[in-house]
Amino acid sequence: MMSQYRQITGIRVRGAASAPYAAHLLTQAWGESPDAVTVDLNVDPALPEGGYRIEVPERGDIRLTGDPFAGLVYAARELTTLATPAGLPVGVRTDSPGLPLRTLWTWDHSTNWDLRQLGQQEIGALNPYAKGADAFGADYRRLVDFCSRERIGGIVVYGLLRDAHGGVEAARELCEYANARGVRIIAGIGVNAYGGIYFDGRHRYNLATWLRQRPDLAAELPRKVGFDIDDFGDLHFPASEYMMAACPSQPDNLAWHRDAVDWLLDTLPVGGINFETGDYGSCACQRCAARTGGERTSWSYEAMRSVYPTLLETARRTGPGGVPLRHLVEVYWDNIFDLEAQKPLAELPDDVAYQYCVNRGFWYDNRHRLTAAHVERLPHTTNVLRTHAGSQWNRQRHSWVPDMYADMGSRAGDAGLRGLTIFAEASAYHPTNEISYLAYARFTWNPDLAWADFWRDEVVPRFGGAAEAEAFRDAAAVLDDGAATADALAAVRGDALAMVAATGGEVQRRWLWLAERAARHAHCAG
Ligand SMILES: [Zn+2]
């Protein structure tokens, strides 16, 4: 049957108040005129977040329906991309995400999406902010735009509240910008660790400020503070105020955190909270030692058991768009198969997502064990995979890892996990990161997507052809090979420069990146 098309010369939007940004996308594409075709925007709270329906009839109103937070933004953007010179294809389309919880994870100090900034950092977990105050918004607005376009539902921001980049006002502006575009800003907060709720500044909900007033409530940390990841190596945090930690056995600390979470949610239109209790050393005071019998890890399951019921009760609220806040509770890493250790988590509330992190080596050694039967046995209903792989924490900040993210997305979907979280501090300007993020976005949206389809639709056009895409992939592997010789890297540079000469636009930019990167590596390998 021949596809039918409908010519659109202008539109008028009805229902714009429920989705102003979606309305903006539509009028930007077609222009507004009073007697043109009506595009009707409808909210349907029964749809899953990000779900939508597009109805283009032969005549009469065009109808877009979406969930209250993101669906209409996705629907409007898809409608604009469906347009051809012949018009809009007539028919009904529906879509919704396979994994509902798709989240990018960041620290503010090493999130570099506006690459013109001075003060860029590429690693660290408790760093000072080295850029100018305006850089925070400039970086994160670009990341929000990417997420909105690629249908990624949330961004965790550690260091969301920091005096050096505008404190509460800058955080509020970011949240509002993101909410309009269907992206949740998820406040990364530390409980008894990682700066508390206001990460850095003279603020009553900054943890160091609190512990200077009440030194009796501080944790007794081990002599060496830090952690060890096989795929990274030993990491020692420099002694600083940022890493001050509070004792989880002190009721005054829990009351302070409860009040701080209350304040946060009264003050900022965040889309949720990523909670964690600290992974750089457990309190060794007598009270904690008596309760835990000593923890085997640099984090404490007993601390999680004792603080989360109160904090999650406080945080159970409605957020932007009138939809419930989305909270992630970090369970730390390489322990998703250790059901014995997780026993203290069983009594925690079941209406939040529990987030299990994996490192690269652990993933490849154990991924066959990630089955629906195992996920059923986890203490809670909603479980999310997170990974350090593809980030600096596995020495892969700029590595080419689309196949790994596709594998994680597909396996997570098959096993009944509800989401996948990856790092995305590095801009998609870097083509290796760009392709990795696109694989993440597509395979978490549709865990059944075929690799060949992804490759044909998303990768091949970005490098100027099928053979070229494979050549870029192979060259990226040379960059990632620490033993690559200067000669091998110089050959990559030469081939990339030939592609620069033969291409233009964004394809050329990607090859130019490769040429510069190979030249940089060759220079240092020589
Ligand atoms: Zn203690």
pLDDT in tens, 124-167: 999 999 999 999 999 999 999 999 999 999 999 999 999 999 99
Task: Indicate if the pLDDT at residue 341 is higher than 50.
Answer: yes
In angstroms, what is the span from residue 250 Cα to ligand 1's centroid? 7
C-alpha 236 to ligand 1 mean position (Å):
22
Distance set, CA 208 to CA 158, 280, 298, 435 (Å) = 16, 16, 20, 40
The neighbouring-strand residues paired with 189 are 275
Mean pLDDT, rounded, for 164-187 = 98
What separation in Å is there between the alpha carbon of 306 and the centre of ligand 1? 12
Distance 227 CA to ligand 1 centre (A): 19
How remote is the CA of residue 352 from the centroid of ligand 1, in Å?
26
How high is the pLDDT of residue 295? 67
DSSP per-residue codes, 308-370:
HHHHHHHH--B-GGG-B---EEEEEES-TT-TTTTGGGGGS-SSSEEEEEE-HHHHHHHGGG-
Give tens-digit pLDDT for 3-44: 799 999 899 999 999 999 999 999 999 999 888 999 999 999
Mean model confidence pLDDT for the chain: 95
pLDDT score of 248 more than 60: yes
Distance 289 CA to ligand 1 centre (A): 7
CA of 213 to the centre of ligand 1 (A): 17
Cα(220) to ligand 1 centroid in Å equals 6
Q: CA-CA distance, 19 to 322, in Å (whole number)? A: 13
Tell me the pLDDT band of 234, cut-offs 50, 70 and 90. Answer: confident
- Across the range 295-305, mean pLDDT stands at 84
Task: Find the 470 Cα to ligand 1 centroid distance in Å.
Answer: 54
| Class for the domain spanning 101-449 | alpha beta
Per-residue pLDDT, averaged over 205-219, amounts to 97
Q: Is the pLDDT of residue 224 over 70?
A: no
What is the pLDDT at residue 73? 98
Residue 294, pLDDT > 80, answer no
CA of 309 from ligand 1 middle (Å) equals 18
DSSP 195-236: TBSS-BSS-TTBHHHHHHH-GGGB----SS-EEEETTTEEEE
Query: What is the CA(311)–ligand 1 centre distance, in A?
Result: 18
- The pLDDT tens digits for 432-478 are 999 999 999 999 999 999 999 999 999 999 999 999 999 999 999 99
245 Cα–ligand 1 center, Å: 10
Q: What is the pLDDT of residue 225?
A: 67
- The first and second tokens of residue 484, run together, are 């690559």
Dist. CA 350 → ligand 1 center (Å): 26
Which is more confidently placed, 299 or 224? 299
Q: For residue 255, how far is its CA from the centre of ligand 1 (angstroms)?
A: 15
Among 73-77, 211-215, 235-239, which is the least confidently predicted range? Answer: 235-239
pLDDT above 50 (res 1): no
How many Å lie between the centroid of ligand 1 and the Cα of residue 121?
A: 33
Does the structure show a pLDDT above 50 at 420? yes
Q: Where are the domains of the chain?
A: 5-95, 101-449, 460-525
What's the pLDDT tens digit per position in 39-74? 999 999 999 999 999 999 999 999 999 999 999 999
For residue 188, the Cα-to-chain-centroid distance in whole angstroms is: 11
Percentage of the chain lying above the pLDDT 90 cut = 89
Q: What pLDDT score does 2 carry?
A: 56
As a whole number of angstroms, the distance between CA 433 and CA 413 comes to 22
Distance between Cα 127 and ligand 1 center (Å): 25
> Does residue 236 surpass a pLDDT of 90?
no
For residue 218, the CA-to-ligand 1 centroid distance in Å is 8
CATH of domain 5-95: 3.30.379.10
What percent of the chain lies above the pLDDT cut of 70? Answer: 98
Q: How far is the centre of ligand 1, averaged over its atoms, from the C-alpha of 282 (Å)?
A: 8
Segment 286-290 mean pLDDT:
89
Question: Out of 108-112, 219-223, 269-273, which region has the weakest mean confidence (pLDDT)?
Answer: 219-223
Cα-trace Rg, the chain:
24
- Each residue's pLDDT tens digit, 349-400: 999 999 999 999 999 999 999 999 999 999 999 999 999 999 999 999 999 9
